[in-house]
Structure 1
Amino acid sequence: MIVAAWTISAGTVMPAAADTDPRGYLTKMKAQEMWKVADGTGITVAVIDSGVKDVPGLEGRVLPGVSFMEPPLEHPDKPYPPHDDFDGHGTTMTAAIVGDGSSGGPQRLAPGAKVIPIRTSVGTPMAFATGGEAAKGVRYAADNGARIINLSIGDWYSLDKIRPAVQYAQSKGLLVFVAMGNNEEEGNNATNPIAMLTGVLGVGAVDENGSPMPLSSYGQDTDLSAMGGKILRRCKDNTAWCVGDGGTSYATALASASAALVWSAHPDWTANQVARVLIQTAGAPVDGSKRTDRVGYGVVRPRIALLDRAGDPGAPDVDPLAAPAPVKAPTPSADQTAAPRAETAAAKSGFSWQWPALGAVVAVSLGVGITVLIKRRRR
């Protein structure tokens, strides 16, 4: 089982001075210039998470949604509406994609996009049910107008449910992003098994300087990276905005928003074509590698696709992770380049990613179907 959550103590309640501007990544990404080309209009992102609280800045940007939370046995009739959020995690992901920045919240990367909130048991005592609920959410998203699925969560135990749900969504033309996972202890590199699924884009996190974050899980299933350093997130029982590390959860939301921008500019493209162009235009590792396990093909740079009109969408029905289209390697970017480096400091902040040791042992002993879940890699 994995549950996306966070360490509240690491945040500083707004409005407090921060060493860096928590919205500064928008300037580096040239968001204002990109929005003149495409702003995400016409694209709906399904955020399968802890729900979304109706906070200022989200009005008119969040669709009705659905909740798949299972009620506790002692309260079988208790409703859990999608527009509520005990944890604040889903609210933060939603705001990163479509929030207008009011009341101290994040300013969105894809202002014209819409979000379908799909609520699961993330952040509750019923979190063990998250995987099965998420699988239902994936199918709901596929049947209700979403083009992108954002999974800043994961689950060891429910891959038998999640895998066919993801395949169903992909058969309907959806693009799926998943967080690689956050580790709070040095040397503990447990990665999200959902990232192994064919066609799913695993997202790692880099800091404000474009360097891999120590807390970001990594491996052969890392495909892209995005900013996960100092950002604005919900804290204090989802009653305030704080400055803190966003980790791979937030990075995944930015990757989803980046895809929304590119897809908005090219609505006739398929999910494979959007993914391929994101891969081709990513800020490649500065050591000259095509990809690394730390950052994948690099940090998402939708501005290269939108402003420079770079990237070859290639074949509409070919998975770019199985066969990336040949194209001139993107040049490293000073403002958004991830350089692989040795990480020595233990990660002590960010959205924690709970991987119970027992779960890892059980997953290994049972195999969790990994031999049939491994992506068709690009090596």
Structure 2
Amino acid sequence: MSFTRTLRAVGGVVVAGALLFGSASAASADQIRDDQWPLKSFDAESVWKVSTGKGVTVAVIDDPVNGDHPDLRGNVLPGKDVENGGPANQEDQDDHGTAMASIIAGHGHGAGNVEGVKGLAPSAKILPVGIPSGDTISAPNSGGLAEAVNYAVDNGASVINMSFGQDTLTAEDKQALVNAVKKNVFLVVATGNDGVGKLDQLTSFPGVVAVGAVDKGGQVWADSNYGPQTMLTAPGTLIRSAAASKPYRRANGTSDSAAYVSGAAALIRAKFPDLTAGQVANRLVKTAGLPPGQEGMKLPDPHYGYGFIRPLRALTQNIPAGSKNGPLKTPKDETAPAAGGASAPGASSTGGDQASGQQDSGLGTGAIVGIAVGVLVVVAVIVIVVVSQKKKGRNGPPPGGPGGFGGPGGPGFPPQQQGPYQQPGPYQQPGPYQQQPSAPGAFPPAPPTQPPGQ
């Protein structure tokens, strides 16, 4: 079973269990909205007074999406089904993509949109990108991920949600992710639902934001995968969302957590359009929270990362933009020359060609002799001048003086300076991340409680 399928299979099991609480079609509209506990914990009504994600496009690389769902209608672009061709906004069977889209940009329905599911960024647009499900996307050279990421970037997505995992990345996959990072796209990936301390290649890729799951009390969900690459956590238990094969579903999973982080990123990108992806991550990291009793842990923690997101704080606190990359690592270009002069796969190697070109320059013997004589003459003149200066005691300035190495106009090297990430900075100090979660806009608003069935 591939990691991709595992993420979705776990969600399906929880959905079946959720029906014990009553079928979605029988539940009242008020109950559907009331089930969205993350909105209450985030104080979403206050969040939406600051930003609703308007003008931001979030790509959902996943199952295609049901764009006709009443809670999503008008917010879903046609997109592309990479697996089957055609648009990706007409799904009526697989629920996962629709669920992620609704967590990010659902707008509800009815008078005042008070019924149904509402997303964290209800004014954002969803660009659905359908990918092969199950084992297909993890197959070597399937091309599914690379094509999906490239399509999302080329069609205006500034946030990409990837609520799945992939054990092995091809060179094409890696290059697509590198290009997305270069084009300032905020990449979000779910850590997975096996409860293991190992993250796959996609989740570990430099430049992505790896997201784990927490419950209502802010405690890490037992089945949330973890590792040193984990950057943030977000709500991932008993999550109510829209579906394609039925009106609504309820599930546990890091998929839902990733979708909430994508929604938070859309809110920030709408309010602060000039921030880079790394600076968006910086805001989320510096305003993240920890549950009571965990405030003294060393960050980033393999389970929590820097903590769970608090969107209202991320939107309203006075946080310097910081460096371009923020807490994100910079991936290596797959086509760039490797260190030491070796060429990476796909890069052209020109060193040998240049050498052979120099050897076969077409210069005749007479020309070479003439050049040699000229060089000897120049050397002789220099020797005569130096000897003359020594006799007269008039040596010139040392190499570091005017005009020499290091002097004005010379090719000197400035003294080395430490960069912002070489000094003890915000990512190594516990202060900004250990504010009590009871503060305004905090998540969670109350002491930890264990959800039913956990």
Shared fold, TM over 0.5:
yes
Distance change >3 Å, CA 40–CA 152, structure 1 → 2? same
Q: Distance in 1 between matches of 2:94 and 2:313?
A: 35
Instruction: Render the CA deviation track for 1:195-232: whole Å, top value 9, x for unaligned.
Output: 21111100000011111101111111110000011111
**Aligned position for 1:368:** none
The residue aligned with 2:46 is 33
3-state DSSP of counterpart to 1:118: strand
- TM score, norm. by length of structure 1: 0.78
How has the CA–CA distance of structure 1 residues 214 and 42 changed in structure 2, closer, same or farther, with 3 Å as cutoff?
A: same
The whole-number CA distance in structure 2 between the counterparts of 1:101 and 1:19 is 10
The residue identity in structure 2 corresponding to 1:111 is: P
- Structure scoring higher RCO (CA < 8 A, sep ≥ 6) equals 1
> Following the alignment from structure 1 to structure 2, what is the Cα–Cα distance between the partners of residues 159 and 89?
25
Q: CA deviation at 1:64?
A: 1.6
How far, CA to CA, are the matches of 2:240 and 2:444 in structure 1? 22
Does structure 2 conserve the Cα–Cα contact (< 8 Å) formed by 1:204 and 1:224? Answer: yes
Instruction: Describe the superposition over 1:115-164 as per-residue Cα deviations: whole angstroms up to 9, x where unpaired.
Output: 100011226x7555696312211111111111011000121133433221
Q: Alignment RMSD, CA only?
A: 3.1
Matches within 5 A, 1:211-290: 211-233=219-241, 238-245=245-252, 247-284=253-290, 286-289=294-297, 290=299
2:376 alignment partner in structure 1? none
- Aligned partner of 2:217 in structure 1 is 209
Query: Where does residue 145 of structure 2 map in the other structure?
Result: 134
User: Which residue, out of 262, 276, 293, partners 2:302?
Assistant: 293
- In structure 1, the partner of 2:121 is 110
Q: 1:146 aligns with which of 157, 174, 188?
A: 157
| 181, 186, 198: which one aligns with 1:170 | 181
CA displacement at 1:190 relative to structure 2: 4.6
- Count matched residues: 329
Q: Give the conservation status (yes or no) of the 8 Å contact 2:56–2:270.
A: yes
**Is 1:179 the equivalent of 2:180?**
no
Hey, what does 2:382 align to over in structure 1? none
Query: Quick one: structure 1 residues 81 and 321, their matched pair in 2 at CA, closer, same or farther if it must change by over 3 Å?
Result: closer
The letter of the residue matching 2:87 is P
Aligned to 1:329: 432
The residue type paired with residue 310 of structure 1 is: N
Q: What is the alpha-carbon distance in structure 1 between the residues aligned to residue 62 and residue 18 of structure 2?
A: 20
Quote how far apart the aligned CAs of 1:16 are.
4.2
Q: Which residue of 1 aligns with 2:78?
A: 64
| Bigger Rg over Cα | 2
1:313 and 1:139 mapped to 2: Cα distance? 28
Cα gap change, 1:42 to 1:66, in 2 (>3 Å): same
- For residues 191 and 337 of structure 1, the distance between their equivalents in structure 2, rounded to whole angstroms, comes to 26
Query: Which amino acid counterpart does residue 38 of structure 2 have in structure 1?
Result: Y
Please, which moves more after superposition, 52-61 or 218-227? 52-61
Whole-Å Cα distance in 1 between the matches of residues 70 and 52 of structure 2? 20
Alpha-carbon distance in structure 2 between the residues aligned to 1:193 and 1:254: 22
Partner of 1:372: none
What is the CA distance between 1:295 and its match in structure 2? 1.0
Change (3 A) 1:118 1:205: same
Can you give the 5+ residue segments of structure 2 that lack an aligned partner in the other structure? Answer: 330-420
Equivalent residues of 1:65, 1:82 under 8 A apart: yes
CA shift, 1:332, in A, is 3.2
Out of 36, 50, 59, which is 1:46 matched to? 59
* CA distance in structure 2 between the partners assigned to 1:34 and 1:311 by the alignment: 17
Aligned to 2:95: 88
Q: Name the structure 1 match of 2:3.
A: 2
For structure 1, list consecutive stretches of 5 or more residues without a partner in the other structure.
71-78, 350-379
- Residue among 305, 309, 320 paired with 2:327: 320
Residue 18 of structure 2 is aligned to residue 11 of structure 1: yes
Q: Distance in 1 between matches of 2:201 and 2:443?
A: 27
Residue 171 of structure 1, CA deviation: 0.8
Shift of 1:287: 3.4
SS of corresponding position for 2:50: coil
Task: Answer whether contact 1:69 1:80 (CA < 8 A) is retained.
Answer: no
Q: How does 1:116-127 map to 2 (within 5 A)?
A: 116-122=127-133, 126=136
Q: Distance in 2 between matches of 1:101 and 1:122?
A: 28
Q: Percent of aligned pairs with the same residue?
A: 34
- Equivalent residue in structure 2 for 1:100, among 103, 107, 120: 107
Q: Show CA shifts across 1:47-76 (max 9, x none).
A: 000010121111111112111005xxxxxx
CA distance in 2 between counterparts of 1:242 and 1:94 reads 13
2:38 alignment partner, SS class? helix
Cα distance in 2 between the residues matched to 1:207 and 1:166: 30
Maintained 8 Å contact 1:179/1:192: no
Quick one: distance in 2 between partners of 1:62 and 1:177? Answer: 19
Residue 314 of structure 1: SS of its match in structure 2? coil
Residue of structure 2 in register with 1:200 after alignment: 208
Contact 1:149 1:174 in 2 (8 A): yes
Could you tell me how far apart the structure 2 residues matched to 1:253 and 1:47 are?
9
Secondary structure (helix, strand or coil) at the match of 2:102 reads: helix
Higher helix proportion, which one?
2
